[in-house]
């Protein structure tokens, strides 16, 4: 039996998460064959890979089907950091981002309206005349396509290597939601997720950008931390609500940014006040001043208050972008925030 036959059989075994075969992924480290007894050494992206047993079964099945095979033994190890870098890519090559301000937009808690604010801020900057890109870095919980009304659109791939983002209101958008079907369940682990984010930075053709906004998943998890550590030029922008609880969690994100020497551009308070239909008064139903307090505690700028408005909720549910008109009430508020950001960057 020659090794080539074994390699051919291994090409039929896929890493179910990366959806590529083990040979192509460079996971096969060694093949030993003696009198029909085959030993395969496989390097996984992480030794705790939950798909290990499935891959072992598939390897045994494929190799056993070869003529002359008496036994198959599979030994697992882990890829080196270099091998992982090679597999998941490094932020370099296609895009330089040399003249781009990268703004990673995070929140402590989920549901504070971070994605809504990010999407509208991207459109605002675009209407102010800047070249803007937007990455939905909330890979599993993506909501940008819904908010921007581009759920049905698909990013196109050239040569299976370069991805052309979807464009709306002059903003180039890359979201998992523009790559997979809406109801597809995504069950990936941390390393794969940050790999996808790297791909969004390296394999998507952004062209020249003034601003690249990243809509982070909420909290201080893997993705915000890896952005702070790996995308050195990224600056942080924190979205919070007037509640004390939201501020407390958002502060942890600020502390994490300080620890990793990441600049915080400022704090935006969303759902600050409510204006009812019957009067023009601002009702601070969640309390007031916590966004500003947070910015003071972190020693950063307070960039503005965005009201709690039914039309914002309806707009983002329907994919109607309120900031496409910067002269509307909400457009004016966003424009003021945009101008403060531009002044600083």
Ligand X SMILES: Nc1ncnc2c1ncn2[C@@H]1O[C@H](COP(=O)(O)OP(=O)(O)OP(=O)(O)O)[C@@H](O)[C@H]1O
From the annotation, which residues make up the binding site for ATP? 108-115
Please identify, using beta-carbon distances, which residue of 35 and 277 lies nearer to ligand X.
277
The contacts of residue 145 (CB under 8 Å, 6+ apart) are 136, 151, 153, 166, 173, 175, 177, 178
316 lies in the binding site for ligand X (CB under 6 A): yes
Q: Are 242 and 272 in contact (CB under 8 A)?
A: yes
Q: Give CA–CA dist 295/289, Å, rounded.
A: 10
Question: Two tokens at 313?
Answer: 């909720």
Interface with ligand X by CB under 6 A: which range of 3-11, 32-40, 60-68, 103-111? 103-111
> Residue 161 contacts by C-beta under 8 Å, 6 or more apart in sequence?
203
- Among 143, 220, 293, 295, contact with ligand X (rule: CB under 6 A): 143
For 29, the enclosing helix (H) or strand (E) is: strand 28-34
Tell me: does residue 113 bind ligand X (CB under 6 A): yes
State yes or no: residue 309 binds ligand X (CB under 6 A).
yes
Strands 171-174 and 166-168: antiparallel
Residue 110 touches ligand X, criterion: CB under 6 A: yes
Asked if 247 touches ligand X (CB under 6 A), the answer is no
> Does 111 engage in binding with ligand X (CB under 6 A)?
yes
- The yes or no reply on residue 283 touching ligand X (CB under 6 A) is no
| Cα Rg, the chain, nearest whole Å | 24
Q: Residue 175 CB, nearest distance to ligand X (Å)?
A: 12
Give SS3 for 17: coil
Note whether 178 binds ligand X by CB under 6 A.
Answer: no
Of positions 179, 306, 321, 337, contacts ligand X by CB under 6 A: 306
175 touches ligand X (CB under 6 A): no
Gap between the Cα atoms of 338 and 126, Å rounded: 10
Using the minimum distance from each CB to ligand X, give the nearer residue, 95 or 124.
124
Does residue 114 touch ligand X according to CB under 6 A? yes
- Between CA 123 and CA 315 the distance in angstroms is 14
Candidates 27-35, 136-144, 205-213, 295-303: pick the segment binding ligand X (CB under 6 A). 136-144
Annotated binding site: 108-115
β partners of residue 39: 32, 73
| Residues making contact with ligand X (CB under 6 A) | 107, 110-116, 138, 141, 143, 218, 270-271, 306, 308-309, 312-313, 316
């Amino acid at each position: 039996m020659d090794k080539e036959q074994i390699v051919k059989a291994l090409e039929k075994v896929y890493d179910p998460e990366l959806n590529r075969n083990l040979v192509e992924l460079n996971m096969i480290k060694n093949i030993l064959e003696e009198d029909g007894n085959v030993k395969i050494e496989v390097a996984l992206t992480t030794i705790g890979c939950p798909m290990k047993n499935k891959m072992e079964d598939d390897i045994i099945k494929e190799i056993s089907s070869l003529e002359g095979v008496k036994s198959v033994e599979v030994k697992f190890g882990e890829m080196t950091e270099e091998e992982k870098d090679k597999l998941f890519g490094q932020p370099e090559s296609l895009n330089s981002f040399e003249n781009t301000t990268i703004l990673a937009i995070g929140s402590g808690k989920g549901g504070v309206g971070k994605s809504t604010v990010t999407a509208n801020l991207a459109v605002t900057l675009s209407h102010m005349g800047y070249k803007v890109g937007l990455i939905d870095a909330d890979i599993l919980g993506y909501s940008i396509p819904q908010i921007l009304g581009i759920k049905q659109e698909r990013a196109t791939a050239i040569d299976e290597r370069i991805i052309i983002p979807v464009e709306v209101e002059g903003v180039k958008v890359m979201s998992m939601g523009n790559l997979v079907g809406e109801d597809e369940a995504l069950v990936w682990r941390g390393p794969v997720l940050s790999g996808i984010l790297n791909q969004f930075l390296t394999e998507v053709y952004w062209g020249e950008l003034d601003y690249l906004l990243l809509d982070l998943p909420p909290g201080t998890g893997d993705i915000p931390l890896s952005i702070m550590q790996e995308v050195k030029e990224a600056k942080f922008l924190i979205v919070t609500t007037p509640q004390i609880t939201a501020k407390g969690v958002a502060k942890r994100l600020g502390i994490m940014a300080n620890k990793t020497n990441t600049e915080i551009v400022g704090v935006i308070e969303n759902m600050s006040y409510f204006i009812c239909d019957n009067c023009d008064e601002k009702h601070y139903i969640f309390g007031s001043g916590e966004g500003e307090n947070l910015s003071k505690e972190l020693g950063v700028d307070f960039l503005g208050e965005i009201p709690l408005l039914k039309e914002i909720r309806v707009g983002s549910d329907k994919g109607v972008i309120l900031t496409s008109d910067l002269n509307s009430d909400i457009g004016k508020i966003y424009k003021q925030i945009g101008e403060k950001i531009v002044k600083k960057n």
